[in-house]
Structures are given as structure tokens and as C-alpha cells.
Chains A and B, each alone.
Chain A
Amino acid sequence: MPANELVLYQEEFQRLERSLRQLRQDASARAVFLFDKSGQQIAAAGEIDQFDATSLASLTAGNVAATDGLAKLIGEREFSTLHHEGQRDHMHISIVGKRAILLVIFDERSSLGLVRLRVKRSSVEMEKIFEEMLVKGTRTTDGQAPASPFAEITDEDIDALFSE
């Protein structure tokens, strides 16, 4: 089985959020979202209440997956960025590291050039955080695997979820 688990701790979460807030500000964007490639939200910043983040996550991941498929069909490894232009709002989608997707939503207060530039810069930083996260997911600073809170779940806990 592939490594099928992503573990996000408070510390990395805060660092990612900080990067996103910075990016949002530097790019004059409405909102920025970081998703996992399988369609789950990792962190976000900006006018996030204006959007249905869960739906955005799954559709963006679907979009990226489909575009990856298209790239492979013509012998490209991937298309590293996607851009959707609307009448008022626009989207810029890019890949961070190997497993995350960065979505920037912006309007006329910004421009594609500015967004592109700022995304490039913060991606480097976020990639670094991700790398550290993956290492931490498998062991803590003393070299031990971190204790999972689920190691102790009982059948009763699980049954209780389905009780109503």
C-alpha cells in the first residue's frame, strides 16, 4: 500500500497559514487555498467565508487530476499551472511540492502577472514546510513514531458514530 496518510500538526498548520496569509496580501488576492491532491482542504486565508471550500477542494482536485491526465496523453509530465479567467473573478491553480494544490482567487485589484510571481515565491517556502511535515509524520524529534490518538479506539467508539 502507498503511504496513504497525511498528518498535519498544529505547528506546520500555523506555518502554512502564515505563508498563505502573506501570499494573499502580497498578491492582493481575494482568497488562497491549499488542498491535498485527493481533494481535501489543508489550510486557507482571505475571504474564505465567501466560498464553499469543501466543494472548491474537490472540484479543484478533479480539475488538476484531469489536466494531469491530459498532460500525460501528449507526453508532458504535468502542466504546472492552470488559469481560469472569469468576468470578475479569476483562478490561478498550481502544484506545490508533489502532493498539494494551491488555489488563488483574485479580481481586478490584482493581475495574473502579480499572482504568478508571488505564487512562485511562496511555493518554495510551502514546499519546505511540506517536506518537514512528511518527515515528522513518520517520526518525532527523538526518532520515535508519534502515538496515534486512534491506536486506542474501541469498537464501541466506532459503533457510537453510527448510533443515530
Chain B
Amino acid sequence: MTFINYASREINCKIVYYGPGLGGKTTNLQYIYSKTAPETKGKMISLATETDRTLFFDFLPLDLGSIRGFTTRFHLYTVPGQVFYDASRKLILKGVDGVVFVADSQDERMDANIESIRNLDENLREHGFDLRAIPYALQFNKRDLPSALPVDVMYRALNFKREPTFEAVASEGVGVFDTLKAVAKQILVELRKQ
């Protein structure tokens, strides 16, 4: 939910990283955290299992600078990708302004990608949002792996509204900031329309 605070002159927006388990959502946030200046970020919180799987969410607050005298702050969240955590995923989507879908490029994860987008669509609907209208970027992660499917095959299967799409190797930071910028821009453009 975009929160415009005239008293402190801040705009706060919420971006959620969605996608199948082990796709690299948490890795995206970790890379962003590692590459931003200390004064522009808050603490990163990870509610994870002992095996580093996201249990509830990761959270990273980020200041991107100011627009028209307003500090723009983005709150980045990841959801737990494992199928059985659906109730938690739903909760994280509350008040979302934009979504990044992190797809796993490996051939054997294609069904999981498709299922996860369907699940995203359904959960957004429950909050009254429309996946077709919400600011949205698509990331093909794990491009470094030998079993990665060709980009055009993935594009045909996962891209549904010509959303901005990026190839990434999140563990090395490739494509991470481009993806974030693409969704942040769409959110700010939405703000202009309102």
C-alpha cells in the first residue's frame, strides 16, 4: 500500500518477490542488501527455517532517494515459495504495490513456475488485486545452470502481458537491480496516475 506521509515527506511502497521454492527470491534481497550503502537501507530480517528456507518472509527497507522533496522508501518482502506455506504467502501480499516474479530457469522447475504464477494470481484476487493491472516484473533466474531452458521458451510460457523481463544470476547479482528498477518505476508511474 502506498503510504504518502506529508508530515515526514515520505512515500512508502511495498514490493513482494514471489515465485517457486528455491528460485532465488531471498538471494535477490541478500544481493541488494550487500550492494547498498548503509545509510540507504535498514536491517534485513529473515524469518527462515534452520535450513535457510523462508518460513514467513524476508524484509528489507530501502531508500531510493527523493522525488519532488519526498523520500521514496521501498519495503521489499519475499514470500516462502514452498507450496504448503500458502497461508503465509497470502498474508505477505496484503497492501502490495508491485510484484517481482522470480522464475527458476531449470527445465525441471517449469511446472513449479507455472503453478506459482497461478497461485499468485489467485492470492492477489483474494486481496482484490488484479495481476494484469498491478506493477509487475518477471525474472528468469539461475541462467548459469546447464539445465536452464532457452529464454524464448520461458518467455512464451511465463510472460503474459509483455511485462519487463530480465535474465538473472541472483547469486552473482546479475539482473537483480534491473529487475527491481523495472517494478519500482511502474509503481511510481502508477502514483502519477492517481
Contacts and interface: CB of A to CB of B under 8 A. Distances in A.
B and A form one assembly: yes
Interface size class of B (residues with CB under 8 A): 35 or more
Interface residues of A, number: 38
A65 B191 CA distance: 26
B2 interface: yes
B157 interface: no
Interface string B52-77: 00001101010011011110100101
A157 B87 contact: no
Contacts of A111: none
A158 B183 CA distance: 12
A30 B124 CA distance: 38
A40 B68 CA distance: 21
B95 A161 contact: no
A152 B67 CA distance: 11
Contacts of B118: none
Given A2-B127, A58-B61, 13 more contacts: A4-B97, A7-B4, A9-B7, A10-B6, A54-B43, A150-B67, A150-B192, A152-B68, A153-B191, A157-B68, A158-B188, A160-B65, A161-B65
Interface of A: 1-2, 4-10, 13-14, 36-40, 42, 52, 54-55, 58-59, 62, 65-66, 68-69, 148-153, 157-158, 160-162
Interface stretch (B108-116, B128-136, B145-153, B163-171): B128-136
Contacts of A42: 3, 5
A157 B64 CA distance: 12
B68 A4 contact: no
B45 interface: yes
A36 B42 contact: no
